[in-house]
Structure 1
Amino acid sequence: MWCGLAGRDHGIRKKVEKFTKSKVLCYVTGDRQNQGIQIAQDAIDYVVHHLDTIGVTKNVSLVIYSRGGDLLAGWNIVNLIRQFCDELTVIVPMKAHSTATLIALGATSVMMTKQATLGPIDPSVNGPLNPVAPGPNPMARVPVGVESVSGYFDFVKSLGVTSEAQIAQLVISLSQQLNPLVLGNVYRSRTQIRMLGKRLLSSHINNGKKVDKILDFLCSESGSHDYTINRREAANELGLKIRKPTDSQYAVIKALHDDYASELKLLTPYDPNVLLGQEPEIEYSVTRGLLESVDGGSTRFISRGKLRRLTMNGPAGPQEAMEDRRTFEAWHHED
């Protein structure tokens, strides 16, 4: 059974508030195998709740762990927080990739541990008009990486294809593989991410060339969306304002991350067979994300449901199957 805030120790968060001299908001989207969630618009109202409870203050520190998600949700979150404070510090204990990196770009400074990583912010377009993914699910679609399309044209140009007629033929050929509306969304997303990044960086960096250099790398020059950017590269190569925690501060940040990792079982793959054990049917509750503040309490993204073993007749005879009947899947707040 899921338990609420009762029993949760906010002592670690209070220690972070003490050494940062700020109010602390923690946002964790778990990447547990088979149970990961992403930064999304459904968290916005709960972010507002925590900020309203904290109130307008001089400094806010956002502790974030995420592999990414909806770019506009990230844009919304960082701008919301900036409405409540003069200075925003983003604290990265481990992973702050894609949309989480976009959020970090809007911070006055970013505190990274030795193992913390940022990542490229080049988006992927996904929708019903995308190519059908191979496999048994006819509704599954292949995400189209914005920079993959741009890279295709960079590749053909590197082969000496430069005439307008040849380029036009390549566009026609590509539109036969990808719906033209998808290609339109690719162009819009590529333009949008640079606009969002530029506006966030320009809020605290006055050097336009420096802003463009950072965005060039994060949007295209990194070569792959899976590329990770460590603390040294973020500071020395990109020129972001990176802060290193002291040994005592690092110990507190690590303890906070370990607390979340344990709560969300980040290092334990989700296996319904293990949950079910020898029982024919059980009810389950899994916490997959967290939004917490000392003042505002705890908000969890929870999946609840029933697991049941079934016996189904197949070509090879009776076969065992697993039914997962979800009864609740959303953020849930407890004071």
Structure 2
Amino acid sequence: MPSRSQIQERIQETKGKAQDDVRREYLKDLSDYVDRDVIIYMSGFTSIKAPSIPSTFQSINLQDVQGFMAAVHGLKRKKLDLILHSPGGSLEAAEQIVQYLRAKYDHIRAVIPQNAMSAATMISCACDEIVMGKQSAMGPIDPQLTLPSPSGQFTAPAHSILDDFKKARESIIADPKTAPLWVNRINLLPPGILNICENTIKNSESKVAEWLDNYMFGSDQDKKGTDIAKWLGNAAEHKSHGRPINIEKCKEIGLKVAALEDDQDYQEKVLSVFHASAVTLDITSCIKFIENQNGKGWFLASDIQKPSA
């Protein structure tokens, strides 16, 4: 298997001109090997220029629906390998992507070469099977909310906002003199934020439970969706929204996960696609793309220059 550095050297020998050709060669080779459609969703959130790119561009959003439409157009098979590398993003966008792909494909295998977090974890749970390597990670699905503040927008876990309201109530009951401090803090939050938090948490867990039971456990008598979704959404359990959940833990909680290393040829082809895609994001202005085995898809570029060495 060519390493990341070997793939990069191969591309750099042509002064970067062949980087699309190399990546597409590996995508086509993988599709031919598995006799399935292959689509890669690749975010630049781990690229060398990631710190300079607004997180909204790196995340799953409604624009990505158009990307999947472009990537699916013209594909004829009924089985899909969906390679995911994403920090997550919008629950609503993830739901629309799942609806679209499940209407097209009878069987979907989520392939995670490194990270599929948050909303990308949710998309993985809407697949029939997940493939992970020893280095791969999924993440918790506890929803994050982006809220306004006097110094600009900030993102906070919905669970932590609810916890703050609980602490405020307990603090004020214990010592009414603390009320003004809590009131000033809570007044910075939008009206109706409690309902928004509660509904978003319920929606993320219920959707994952529904997808797991309909697809991954569709033919099983023992439906595990609700228990798995509650564990993935348990902020108190995970402590951090970015906590990596490895293949062994995914198997332990009951997900149907295959090890990438079980088929060495398959592992080589998947990682070659992933490494070539990572090089694309490092050496070009592209910051996210969705592409099929025929080289068709959608590419988001930025004029942000990569950091100097």
- Say whether the fold is shared (TM-score over 0.5): yes
Aligned to 2:99: 79
Native 8 Å contact 1:147 1:219 kept in 2: no
Where does structure 1 lack aligned partners over 5 or more consecutive residues?
Answer: 134-139, 269-284, 308-335
Flag the 1:210–1:8 CA change in 2: closer, same or farther, 3 A: same
For residues 80-229 of structure 1, the aligned pairs below 5 Å read 80-127=100-147, 130-133=148-151, 140-152=152-164, 173=183, 175-204=186-215, 205=217, 210-220=224-234, 221-229=237-245
1:53–1:296 contact (8 Å) kept in structure 2: no
Partner of 1:52: 73
Return the alpha-carbon distance in structure 2 between the equivalents of residues 20 and 96 of structure 1: 22
Structure 1 pair 176/257, CA: closer, same or farther in 2 (3 Å)? same
C-alpha distance 42-4 of structure 1, shift in aligned 2 (>3 A): farther
Tell me the residue number matched to 2:302: 303
Matched residue type, 2:267: Y
Deviation, 1:305, is 7.4
Within 5 Å, give how 1:29-48 maps onto structure 2. 29-31=43-45, 32-35=50-53, 37-48=58-69
Q: What is the CA-CA distance between 1:69 and the residue it aligns to?
A: 1.1
CA distance in 2 between partners of 1:9 and 1:142 (Å): 36
Change (3 A) 1:9 1:152: closer
Greater relative contact order (CA < 8 Å, ≥ 6 in sequence): 2
CA distance in structure 1 between the partners assigned to 2:259 and 2:29 by the alignment: 17
The answer as to 2:29 corresponding to 1:15 is: yes
Distance (Å, rounded) in 2 between the aligned partners of 1:145 and 1:180 = 17
Identity over aligned pairs, percent: 20
Identify if the C-alpha distance between structure 1 residues 224 and 208 changes in structure 2 by more than 3 Å, giving closer, same or farther: farther
For 1:232, the equivalent position in structure 2 comes to: 248
Q: Which of the pair is proportionally richer in helix?
A: 2
Alignment CA distance shift 1:155-1:111 (3 Å): farther
Give runs of ≥4 in structure 1 deviating > 6 Å: 2-6, 153-157
- Counterpart of 1:34 in structure 2: which amino acid? S
Unaligned runs of 5+ in 2: 1-15
**Alpha-carbon RMSD:** 3.2
CA-CA distance at 1:4 after TM superposition: 10
Match of 2:41 among 22, 27, 43: 27
- Partner in structure 1 of residue 270 of structure 2: 253
